[in-house]
Structure 1
Amino acid sequence: MLAAPVAALSLTLTLAACGGATAPSTEPAAPASGGGSSEWTPVTIEHALGTTTIETQPERVATVDFANQEVPLALGIVPVGMSKMTWGDDDGDGVQPWTEDKLTELGAETPVLFDETDGYDFEAVAGTEPDVILAGYSGMTAEDYATLSEIAPVVAYPETPWATAWRDTITINSAALGMAEEGEQLVADVEQSIATAVGKHPELEGANGMFMTHVDPTDLSEINFYTAADTRSQFFDDLGMQTAPSVVEASGDSGSYSGSLSTERADELSDVDVIVTYGGDELIDALKGDPVLSQLPAVANDAIVNLDGSQPIGTAANPTVLSTPYLIEDYTALLADAVAGNEAG
């Protein structure tokens, strides 16, 4: 079961002063950087931090934060700079394998990598001399946005930090490049890869999932989780599953991507069929050893999917345009095994 069509973004395509109300040019940009079309219709995008207008066709595209670089790459545009990936990078070079594959396909060298360990490297971003900075999926502050905007027009997240749905990430970043129609096709292609993988695991249909994260194995007084607003939880819907009703209720209506629940209320999570986590074996052992949490059906039945963040599979729960086709078969297989464990229990 695929999720509903792309959520409506606060996004308007504005024409140049002359001419009528036609859509922006969708001619492919040159693979080496980002320009190529002789015609360009200015694009105006409203997002959570303001309104950004790209007056001229971007020739030099920079991206910050997780996975935004994948959209221009999927469109055949090589960024001049992008975030160094420390998550899902199996060889320590700062570039995830699906990105490496795409760069090879395009015959391109690795772009400048921005080290964002301690926040944005504004100097490095400025050094790439970008015409636009893509950050449709991000968590930047208003101050960050203002500083980056002094370098180039910035496309920030549409509503909530770190909660841009994968379809909307593709849509808003593609629109900023004047390639909205191509972006729609990218969404359709990813949806097809998901449908193919999910079709092999009908047991996923209707299973209740929870993404448990940032839990201290030495202090299990709080259960931390990604809320129903987070992309990882939303991805359950694409897979035929759903975020457990108890997690939806505990998420509240703040729109925040993370939440917590006192372990004293753990019995409320009895409807969780599968737990997904980055916690590793230490966390799983701690859950099994806890007198309260060990009674949760998902824990008691070993229905836990442990994603290793040092390996590519660590990113599987956070869907993106290039990583999802690369990882979806493995991720759905892990989820199906967990569902089977829960049903056996």
Structure 2
Amino acid sequence: MSHRFTFRAAAAIAVVGALALAGCSSSAEPDEGEAAASDGTFPVTIQHAFGETTIDEAPADVVTWGWGSTEASIALGVVPVAIPFDSYAGGDDGVLPWVSDELDSLGVDTPIVLSNDGEAPPYEEIAAADPDVILAVYSGLTEEQYELLSEIAPTVAYEGEAWSTPWKDVVTTVGTALGKSEEADTVLADLDQVLADSAAAHPELAGKTVAAVWDVAGTFYVYKAADPRVAFLFDLGLVNAPAVDELSNGDETFYYTLSYEQLDKLDSDIVVNYSDTAAEQEAFLAASYAQAIPAVKAGAVAQVVGTEVVASVSPPTALSLTWGLDDYLDSLSAAAAVVDAE
């Protein structure tokens, strides 16, 4: 997926945009989608940052935009007719691996893949898909973009700030829009059980403080507790390092930049560092400014390396959580073991 932000540029949990249109046929027949979604009571009205959206009937043809709505819709039994191209962690067709895996397991075709240039939604392509609803629950839509999309179909935006919808709220909001709130509760209950089991299997994580960071092209980013990827770490038993809040300069809601000269103040038990490649990871660890971070100096670094792995946990989605969880836990556990050995 792509948009204005990139994983590398820190604020986003989505990715760098790409002007590409990869398309196949719709993955679900319209009446199949309508039947699957018709167990809810309509109309429904959903509040969001730009007001409210009323959906009169159970949607059959769904277009998703942003991050996570695609996976939530599929997990709830409604395969969208069109999804955004993801140039960061998607394959050549712009489809994320866990989405591709799920489509294969369902035996359905890949939806239309919408061009994603990082600036604005491709309105003509979306209109051509003739959606009943547009789900952009975790996205960076501007009010103008929202208004233009709403001329095509009822559009559901994020509730608070752009790119900061908690990943669980993505599932519940999509469930409401599709008339599948009970199914959404079931999906979340299953994932909560996975998280509870994971936390129980890794008691070494419980209560350890964490700072999630990314060093990109001379700029050092620190993610705040409001960032959904950090909330995911809390789900696994970790807690926010006080230094993360103390050093915050108010740049953005869910991240801030920190000068290299201040990195010695970023004190936490564990540092989670995101890198696109192993070479970037090694360069970060070798940098003198990185070694000034207490947890890095001690070796208590959980490395999240590779675009697919980074995307799967930044933040997780209804389908990516289980896809990337084992590797994530292994890395966090190794960092925690360093702390315990001190």
TM-score tier after normalising by the smaller chain length: 0.7 to 0.9
Distance 2:191 2:106 in 1: 20
1:273 is aligned to 270
Residues 55, 177 of structure 2: 8 Å contact kept: yes
Distance 1:151 1:60 in 2: 12
- The AA in structure 1 aligned to 2:105 is E
2:190 is aligned to 189
Alignment of 1:135-214 (within 5 A): 135-213=136-214
Match of 2:221 among 224, 249, 252: 224
Aligned-residue sequence identity (percent) comes to 37
Contiguous gaps of at least 5 residues in structure 2: 1-27
- The AA in structure 2 aligned to 1:100 is S
Say which one has the larger Rg: 1
Q: TM-score, normalised by structure 2?
A: 0.83
Distance 2:80 2:340 in 1: 46
Structure 1 residues 32 and 257: CA distance shift in structure 2, 3 A? farther
> Secondary structure in 1 aligned to 2:83?
strand
Following superposition, the deviation at residue 45 of structure 1 comes to 0.5
Number of residue pairs matched by the alignment:
312
1:264 is aligned to 261
2:99 is aligned to 99
Q: CA deviation digits over 1:253-294, x for unaligned, max 9?
A: 786122112233223212342222235445444444444431
Contiguous gaps of at least 5 residues in structure 1: 1-28
> Secondary structure in 2 aligned to 1:224?
strand
Is 1:246 the counterpart of 2:243? The answer is yes
Q: Which moved more, 1:200-209 or 1:91-100?
A: 91-100
Structure 1 residues 200 and 79: CA distance shift in structure 2, 3 A? same
Distance 1:213 1:121 in 2: 30
> Secondary structure in 1 aligned to 2:47?
strand
2:304 is aligned to 307
Pairwise CA RMSD: 2.4
Q: Which has the higher helix share?
A: 2
Structure 1 residues 319 and 288: CA distance shift in structure 2, 3 A? closer
- The AA in structure 2 aligned to 1:144 is Q
Match of 1:332 among 288, 309, 329: 329
Residues 313, 320 of structure 2: 8 Å contact kept: yes
Alignment of 1:79-90 (within 5 A): 79-89=80-90
Residues 62, 80 of structure 1: 8 Å contact kept: yes
Q: CA deviation digits over 1:203-242, x for unaligned, max 9?
A: 11112222212532xx3xx531222211011111101001
